[in-house]
Structure 1
Amino acid sequence: MLVLVTGGTGFVGAHTIAAATAAGHGIRVLARDAAAVERALVPLGVPSDPVEVLIGDVTDPVVVARAVRGVDAVVHAASVYSFDSRRHRETRRTNVRGTELVLDAARRFDVARTVHVSTFGAMLPAAGGVVGPDTPPGTAREPYLASKAAAETVARRHQAQGAPVAITYPPALLGPYDPKVGDQNGRLRNTLRGLMPVWPTGGFPIGDVRDTARLHAELLTAAPTGLDRHFGPGGYLTTRDYVRAVRAATGRDLPTLFLPARPMLPFAYLTGLVQHVWPWHIPAEYGACYVCACDAHPADGATAHGSRPFADTLTDTLRWMHRTGLLTERQVGRAADPGHVGALTAEHAGAAPRA
């Protein structure tokens, strides 16, 4: 099977390529930079033979049509995942327009299976804090969440019209080999660098990128069932439990002040305004605070099975950050045990051992 993957130079996309190639599929990647494809895939041990690179932007209809033509399946993972207020325009253009073009092209060329990568945040806020397959797209005004809700509406419209579209809802994702050190891995890194001494209360679902990538590979050949909407493997954690897990993994005290999430929202909103003129990234982001304030979790039975323990995900992520110089030995604490770091190099999405 030849599979087009958009967003293949990103965290989810790269790991999905690794899982799909491990399952024997050929890959076509739509990317703006061929060198970025190599940087993303080489650490995952993906051989170059099954990967074809097409240069272009997911918001260009001509390029998208050329990328989709002739493939058997599509994984649409291209997305700007950022709560950084400086990226609002780019976020809307990529997340909404890109989804419209890719899913339209997949139907036009009779692609047998399309997997649209959404997020649980696309349905926030949710009644009662519970998100399930039939929860409607959210009404959040935060730009990233609003863009994903709009893209979700596009994907569901295709589903309603009978297109073979599966939608996945990854939780917040950690894991090794993040080509761009995205939102969640960046937040973990900032926590250990002492840049996040204050956290909002509440919580969010979280999982391992390798488990979500495995789900995507499985959906490529799976027969559609029910609503064909799938929550990625993972579990719900409060912010207190998250920080407690980081303390346990590192052996560090990490003094942290927890404040009620909703009263923090006005302050977080103001930091977003300041971010427009402040040249350095401010970790206190409105969108992240809003997600914690929603305190949502997947409905019972909605989450895919097969997630590895969060402690294992944390340890693997910290060892990768230490090995690549993103964190010092002091910052990762006991997770830097050299007796275990070497084992990480043999892991990649689709072949990572289960704990």
Structure 2
Amino acid sequence: MALVFVTGGTGFIGSHSVAALHRAGHRIRLLARRESAVRPALEPLGLHPADVDVVLGDITDATTVTRAMTGCDAVLHAASIYSFDSRAHRRMQSVNVDGTENVLAAARWIGADPIVHVSSFAALIPTRGRPLDGNLPVGKPRERYMATKAEAELIARQHQSDGAPVTITYPMATLGPHDPHLGDQSARLRSLLLGRLPIWPTGGYPLGDVRDVAELHADAMRPGQGPRRLLAPGRYVSTSDYLRTARFVTGHRLPAVFLPTPAVLPVGLLTLALQRICPWHIPVEYGAIYACHCDARLDERTAPAPSRPFAETMLDTVRWLHESGHLTRRAAGRAAPA
């Protein structure tokens, strides 16, 4: 089995992917900025820090990346800042774009095969009515996080054009248990259950389960496949279906008003500006509204199907939010274990 160099292994998708790679028999060398972040991310998934080789460093430092990667057989680049918070814009550009160039260039230099770059469906929107597919042109989204993922996508595709064995994966918006940093999707579900999101835009977006994404990355660790682009399993979920599922899972009424996205986008732009000066996170985010406005769909005939019903994914997420202390038993409703 391969020695796999992993970035972003203490994040949501990254930690689950590390666990899946370990189950598949691979050895892991994990690049982390803080050693203290490794145990909280991996232990809930059944891993001990001793199960991986931890190297301290930052993907924005090209020299450190190359030195840490030397001797590895394959690479999984999952490091990314996923946030619609305007306060993270500068760091986002450095990590998502410059860091991707550093990692992929180093991976080519050491001769890694495969080199798996974790992109996002957001790098492909707006799709202008076409279903999501890895062969779509790189999108030109009007939101900063999505724009950095599109820039990183251009870098990865250039390496593919050069013939490098780069596999690009496209996770959907992702839910599931054990989110080390309470990322955007988990935080939005929590805000909904706490009654902080009474107004919702129409439209929707594709959603997937983090465990399916992790298995995709473990399956992608086969050398000799050449450049590839792989959609992660997912399904299109309208905002009304999202609310309906949350009501079913928790047993709560969760009253909400739905407005057309053109009417809600200006509110998102206002909160985007306010967030720059507000020390507290504002749950109404322009990026989430814009994603609903783009309303990206999947072709159910060709897109990989999720392994679980959406209600099960949401149930597991809510249950974990309660068990980890992010939700009270009352907020989790009947999703909380008896």
Paired AA for residue 285 in structure 1 = E
Q: Who is 1:196 aligned against?
A: 197
Q: Who is 1:27 aligned against?
A: 28
Paired AA for residue 169 in structure 2 = T
Q: Who is 1:67 aligned against?
A: 68
CA distance in 2, matches of 1:67, 1:246: 43
Q: Who is 2:246 aligned against?
A: 246
Instruction: Tell me by how many angstroms 1:134 deviates.
Output: 1.1
CA distance in 2, matches of 1:303, 1:93: 32
> Aligned with 1:297: secondary structure?
coil
Instruction: Tell me by how many angstroms 1:222 deviates.
Output: 6.2
CA distance in 1, matches of 2:267, 2:49: 47
Matches within 5 A, 1:55-94: 55-94=56-95
CA gap of 1:220–1:274, structure 2 versus 1, over 3 A, is same
Q: Who is 1:175 aligned against?
A: 176
Instruction: Please tell me whether the aligned partners of residues 57 and 63 of structure 1 are also in contact (alpha carbons under 8 angstroms).
Output: yes
Instruction: Tell me by how many angstroms 1:111 deviates.
Output: 0.5
> Aligned with 2:49: secondary structure?
coil
CA distance in 2, matches of 1:308, 1:115: 24
CA gap of 1:289–1:129, structure 2 versus 1, over 3 A, is farther
Q: Could you list the runs of 5+ residues in structure 2 that have no partner in the other structure? A: none
Instruction: Tell me by how many angstroms 1:47 deviates.
Output: 3.3
Instruction: Tell me by how many angstroms 1:300 deviates.
Output: 4.2
Task: Give deviations 1:32-69, integer Å, cap 9, x for gaps.
Answer: 00010111001111133430111011100111101221
Count of equivalent residues: 337
Paired AA for residue 99 in structure 1 = T
Instruction: Please tell me whether the aligned partners of residues 12 and 179 of structure 2 are also in contact (alpha carbons under 8 angstroms).
Output: yes
> Aligned with 1:127: secondary structure?
coil
So what's the TM-score if we normalise by structure 2? 0.97
Farther off after superposition, 306-315 or 274-283: 306-315
Paired AA for residue 222 in structure 2 = T
Farther off after superposition, 82-91 or 300-309: 300-309
CA gap of 1:302–1:229, structure 2 versus 1, over 3 A, is farther
Q: Who is 1:343 aligned against?
A: none
Instruction: Tell me by how many angstroms 1:224 deviates.
Output: 2.4
CA distance in 2, matches of 1:239, 1:119: 20
Instruction: Tell me by how many angstroms 1:112 deviates.
Output: 1.3
Q: Who is 2:235 aligned against?
A: 235
Instruction: Tell me by how many angstroms 1:234 deviates.
Output: 1.5
CA distance in 1, matches of 2:224, 2:202: 40
Identical-residue share of aligned pairs (%)? 53
Instruction: Tell me by how many angstroms 1:337 deviates.
Output: 2.9
Q: Who is 1:160 aligned against?
A: 161
So what's the TM-score if we normalise by structure 1? 0.92
Paired AA for residue 34 in structure 2 = D
Paired AA for residue 21 in structure 1 = H
Instruction: Tell me by how many angstroms 1:242 deviates.
Output: 0.4
Matches within 5 A, 1:1-355: 1-221=2-222, 223-224=224-225, 228-338=228-338
Instruction: Tell me by how many angstroms 1:301 deviates.
Output: 4.2
The Cα RMSD (Å) is: 1.3
Farther off after superposition, 93-102 or 137-146: 137-146
Instruction: Please tell me whether the aligned partners of residues 132 and 302 of structure 1 are also in contact (alpha carbons under 8 angstroms).
Output: no
Paired AA for residue 213 in structure 1 = A
Instruction: Tell me by how many angstroms 1:324 deviates.
Output: 1.3
Instruction: Please tell me whether the aligned partners of residues 231 and 298 of structure 1 are also in contact (alpha carbons under 8 angstroms).
Output: no
> Aligned with 2:269: secondary structure?
helix
CA distance in 2, matches of 1:2, 1:264: 47
CA distance in 2, matches of 1:222, 1:69: 17
> Aligned with 1:131: secondary structure?
coil
> Structure 1 residue runs of 4+, over 4 Å off?
none
CA distance in 2, matches of 1:319, 1:131: 30
Instruction: Please tell me whether the aligned partners of residues 113 and 223 of structure 2 are also in contact (alpha carbons under 8 angstroms).
Output: no
CA distance in 2, matches of 1:279, 1:49: 37
CA distance in 2, matches of 1:245, 1:222: 40
Q: Could you list the runs of 5+ residues in structure 1 that have no partner in the other structure? A: 339-355
CA gap of 1:211–1:258, structure 2 versus 1, over 3 A, is same
CA distance in 2, matches of 1:302, 1:162: 26
CA distance in 1, matches of 2:223, 2:71: 20
